[in-house]
Amino acid sequence: MSAQTKFLLDESKMPRHWYNIAADLPVPAPPVLHPGTMQPVGPDDLAPLFPMELILQEVSTEREIAIPEPVREVFKLWRPSPLIRAHRLEKALGTPARIYYKYEGVSPAGSHKPNTAIPQAWYNQQAGIKKLATETGAGQWGSSLSFAGALFGIEVTVFQVRVSYDQKPYRRALMETYGARCIASPSNETNAGRAILAQNPNHLGSLGIAISEAVEVAATHDDTKYSLGSVLNHVLMHQTIIGQEAMLQLEMAGDDPDVIVGCTGGGSNFAGIAFPFIGQQLRGAGKTKQRRIVAVEPAACPSLTRGRYAYDFGDTAHMTPLTKMHTLGSTFTPPGFHAGGLRYHGMAPLVSHLKQLGIIEATAYHQNECFAAGVQFARAEGILPAPEANHAVLGAINEALRCKQEGRSEVILFNLCGHGHFDMSSYSNFAAGKLVDQPYDEAELAMALAGLPSVPA
């Protein structure tokens, strides 16, 4: 075990461009539609919510978009993130596979989310915006935007799904330490929130509802814009710094991945590690090796494996445009499992499009097997993964066990998108045998899918 463990890049080697997969798609992704006119939305439709630079990124088909220097300066606090060879996990599994993980938990907020929070805050600051509203589930995104706001002097308001707000006071404390305001959603601060509370004052909230509240605040306040931590094209593009770095680091290691694994909720960390490799494949550039790209999602919220590829709203109150994506229906409420960052009814349109084109695979796991994988990983590699990341850990372990069975020494790369330091109550519950693999309600799914908006072909 004397081979190299950690592959570090000097900050001078940090990528200077984001990679935009729209430039290389064999078929363009379907347009985003205005729900009133059913016509494609234009930049002006999005202007109340986002600064123009981000809107232009959202619709760009340029292959490379320069990362602004002030953004790169902030990234240098923790980027390039390490690529680590999982020597000890390989040994524990007895696999001939070589397993590498890109570790995004080194960011101050503990996940990949600052990769997009920092540029989003910066572009808003450049556009003269003083306030941002956003939503968060488990709190990874909320704390990342709070951190970004502190650096660029932007007031951040975070609508946090109430069940997480109550269960994870420490994530909230982190947001508040960065100077942000955190509000349990549904709240009395918006029409969307008040309408839900009128029906059920004890509503536990959902990401869809929290999005509605944050969008409403941005849409109704001239000095406030909205910021989203996943799903959108520009958000996924900001994460491609992960895969670009991993590509350089695997070159240092003299390896080339056969399988790339990421967990998917909205799709951003998966896109971050996978898109640069997919782009290489689509362009026929680099090595000609055909790689398998595997998205791992929770069995209790299985948009890619059980959802319909259809136009749907991104939020519960139907304030967003319509996007074509794998969706369980905007009214679908997944059971309360512990990977809060993966509890979203839809999927990033770009990830959905690639799934539809057969360029990526998807698989779904239950939460107890994911936590077991996380514990095994921690005891071998030290790092305690976030519950979301445990899905990718299990995906990588299963690929490594397949390699063992088939006697193949494939190279497996996965994205360890964050640590679980704020999720210890979940680990406690797992250790105590208190976690339940609660399936989603088939009837509710059927109803949610039946309620999908009808869009003329």
Draw the binding track, 299-338, toward a copy of itself (x: CB under 8 A; -: no contact).
----------------------------------------
Which among 3, 178, 24, 97 has a CA at the least distance from the CA of 400? 97
Can you tell me which of 259, 383, 389, 396 binds a copy of itself, judged by CB under 8 A?
383
Give the contacts of 436 (CB within 8 A, at least 6 positions apart): none
Distance of alpha carbon 32 from alpha carbon 282, whole angstroms: 23
Site residues for a copy of itself, 405-434, by CB under 8 A, read: 419, 421-422, 424-425, 427-428, 431
Can you tell me which of 5, 356, 368, 438 binds a copy of itself, judged by CB under 8 A?
5
Can you tell me which of 210, 300, 384, 417 binds a copy of itself, judged by CB under 8 A?
384
Instruction: Please state the closest distance from residue 59 (CB atom) to a copy of itself, in A.
Output: 31
Amino acid at 223: D
Q: Is 209 left (phi over 0), alpha (psi -120 to 50) or beta?
A: alpha
Distance of alpha carbon 211 from alpha carbon 311, whole angstroms: 18
Site residues for a copy of itself, 113-132, by CB under 8 A, read: 114
Cα–Cα distances in angstroms (integers) from residue 267 to residues 220, 238, 293, 348, 415, in the given order? 28, 12, 13, 5, 12
* Residue 173 binds a copy of itself (CB under 8 A): yes
User: How many other CB atoms sit within 10 Å of the CB of residue 289?
Assistant: 12
Distance of alpha carbon 119 from alpha carbon 75, whole angstroms: 10
| Between 1 and 450, CB nearer to a copy of itself | 1
Q: Which of the stretches 171-179, 181-189, 321-329, 392-400 binds a copy of itself when contact is defined by CB under 8 A?
A: 171-179
Q: Which of the stretches 102-110, 197-205, 241-249, 326-334 binds a copy of itself when contact is defined by CB under 8 A?
A: 102-110
* Residue 31 binds a copy of itself (CB under 8 A): no
* Residue 27 binds a copy of itself (CB under 8 A): no
* Residue 375 binds a copy of itself (CB under 8 A): yes
Distance of alpha carbon 9 from alpha carbon 241, whole angstroms: 13
| Between 10 and 222, CB nearer to a copy of itself | 10
Distance of alpha carbon 160 from alpha carbon 175, whole angstroms: 11
Amino acid at 50: F
Contacting residues toward a copy of itself, per CB under 8 A: 1-2, 4-6, 8, 10-11, 69, 73, 76-78, 84, 87-88, 106-110, 114, 147, 150-151, 169-171, 173-174, 176-179, 375, 378-384, 419, 421-422, 424-425, 427-428, 431
